[in-house]
Every structure is written in structure tokens, then in C-alpha cells.
Amino acid sequence: MPSRRSALTLLAGGSAALVLGAAPAAHARPGTHRPFGRHGSPARRLDAATLYVDARGRGDHRSVQAAVDAATGTGRTLVIAPGTYRETVDIPADRTGLTLIGASDDPHDTVIVYANANGTPRPDGSGTYGTSGSATVTARPAGLTARGLTFANDWLRADHPDYTGTQAVAIKVTGDRSAFYGCRFLGHQDTLYADSPTLTDFARQYYRDCYVEGDVDFVFGRATAVLDRCHFRTLTRTDLAAPPYGFVFAPSTAGANPHGYLVRHSRITTTAPDGYFKLARPWVPSSDLTAHPMLTVRDSRLGAGIDTDEPYGTMSAGFPWQDQRFAEYRNTGPGARVTVPANRPLLTASEARLHTPASWFGDWRPRA
């Protein structure tokens, strides 16, 4: 039987399991002699702004962080060869316009993974990492684009039953005009942290054809984010005997921001029993008690894992979900059934016309 760690990928329906060994490790497909595929190579560089990453030494750098460190200036591209890169990556804000590409174009092949949690002690004895510090990848620059990559945090509760800080972020994104295409985000609690650098920065982010899995609040933060044609997968929890197992979304939209999370043309499936998950709950952080969380889920298929009687929950006393900006429109599937009308805030057709990517993004038009 596979461990829960290897099950992170198996549950995603991956064609290749995560190979999680000592860093750095890379595992190209058998017979692959062109690790960078159609994206050139150090000998046939597409342009001077492109750097190549391969843990086997066939690129400019063996680790993603080393390539990020070298990619100074704007408009650089990192092509990453297939493999499992066990490392944390911090992309500074001054790497504007950076593009990260998984060389095979299949996100199962190129994985950036680590295993820190909120409660993991820092090596220097200065305390624990905290939620933000647990991120495998921290992406700060504006204009970031990522294609065909997996971002994962394989920290497991079962390995650390004494931890109370079980948040373990796969990626934290704070830059404006950040776009992810065909990427996977794997974890359990707090997998995808779609956020902004400050309360007054309304960072716009676009996720298209992506896969996200987890259990508690596994898409969360205060970004202005559109998640388009994405697949959200709720995971079984062996540490709990009864529902709820968790929540898919936990937006913490700033009160002054007119746009929070918009989910459209997507689907939610589950490995857990029917009705064991909530669709969302609002996150009002102690650092921003003026937050007014916003989430619209529209034109999407909600699987049987969603609790239809009480699809929303409340995280903090004094900030009930009913006081937040939650809405749905034209969803289908067993999890979208309206069994208690008061618990399903539905948009009218005229209201729904304002809940679109164009409204969310203003003058920015990410590639469709």
C-alpha cells in the first residue's frame, strides 16, 4: 500500500508517481536525451534571457533556486527539465516578468516539493516557520507566468501528531498579474495561498486548467483571483471520524477590494464520503479584522463531496459566513443541490454579468 505521501500524486490521477528522495533529484523519462524538449538547450539557447535547470547537470543550474538567483532583471525564462526538485524556492519581487516552464509540458513530470509546516522548527532555533514560511515556493514578482509544473508540500499530519500548526503551503503567490497554466498544486492544509503583498495591493492572479488538492482551506488568501477550468480534489482524512473534513476555499479579501475569488467552468471531486466537505468558509485574519471575504463559484460542477445542507462554514466567531460576499450561479452536480435555500446565496442573471474575468482584472488580459 502506498504511503500517504506517495498518494498525493496517485490521488491526482498522475501518470507518474512523485519520487521524493534526497535533494537534488531528477528522474527523466527513459530514453529521454533532450531534457528540455522543444525549449532549446544551453547549446541551442532560445534567447539570452533563457536559463535551463536540470539536476543532472545538463543545464545552466542544478536547482530551481540557483536559477532564480541568476535570473536577475526582467523578462527572464527558466526551463526546468523533468525531475523532482526537493527544495524551497523564494522568488524575489524584482524578478518581474519571470516565466517558469516545465520542459515536458506535462506537470506530472516536473515537481518542486518540500515538507515544511507552520509548526516546523526553524534550524536556527528562532521559532517555527509559520504558515507563510512553510511554503515550498514563494512567488513575489509581478508578471510571473508558470506552465506545466507541479508545486507540492508533502508534509503529513500523521508524521507529526504533536504539531498544532499543520498548515503546509505548496506555493504562496503575491505578485500582480501572476498566471498559471496547466499546473498542479498538491498538499493538505493551505495548499494554494493566492495572496497579495499588502492590504492595499489588489494582486490579480489567473489559474487556468490547473489541479488543486487538499483538505482544510486549500485555496486561501486575499488575491483577486480567477480560477478557470480548474479541478479541485478534496482528500480523505484518516485522522477524523466524522465530517466536516475541511473546506475548499477560504478567501480573506480586503474590505476595500471589490473582487475576491472567482471560480468558473471548474469541478470539485472528492476521495472522501459524500457530504464531508464544505465549499468555503471566510478567513478574517487577526491582522486584518476589516477583511470582507469574497467568493463566487459559477458554471461549475460540484461533486457529492460537498455538504448541500450547509455548504458554508464560519471560521471565527463574530464573522459569520452570511455576512460575507459568497455567491453561486448556475452550478451543477449533486453538491450544487439547493436543499436549504437560506444556505445557498444565488446570483441573479443580471448580477452574474458583473462576475466575470473582465470585471475582476480590469486592464489586464491574461492569455485564455
Quickly count: other Cβ atoms within 10 Å of residue 62's Cβ: 18
Give 12's DSSP letter: T
Residue that the C-alpha cell 474575468 belongs to: 357
Is 137 in contact with 91 (CB distance < 8 Å)? yes
Spatial separation of the C-alpha atoms in residues 314 and 348, rounded to whole Å:
24
Tell me whether residue 40 is exposed, middle or buried, using C-beta atoms within 10 angstroms of its C-beta: 0 to 12, 13 to 18, 19 or more: middle
Residues in the chain, overall count: 368
Catalytic hit among 154, 201, 217, 307: 217
Active site annotation includes 195: no
Contact 178, 157 (CB under 8 A): no
Which residue of the set 190, 201, 215, 307 is catalytic?
Answer: 190
The DSSP 8-state label assigned to residue 222 in this structure reads S
Q: Look at residues 357, 350, 281 and name the one whose alpha carbon lies nearest to residue 322.
A: 281
Burial code (b: 16+ CB inside 10 Å, e: under 16) for 148-165 equals bbbbbbbbbbeebeebeb
* Distances, alpha carbon 75 to alpha carbons 142, 143, 223, 312, in Å: 11, 9, 23, 41
The secondary element (H helix, E strand) that includes residue 294 is strand 294-298
Q: In whole angstroms, what is the distance from residue 118 CA to residue 196 CA? A: 19
- Strand ranges across the sheet with 277-280: 89-91, 137-139, 171-173, 192-194, 219-221, 246-251, 277-280
For the question of residue 309 being annotated catalytic, the response is no
What residues act catalytically?
190, 217
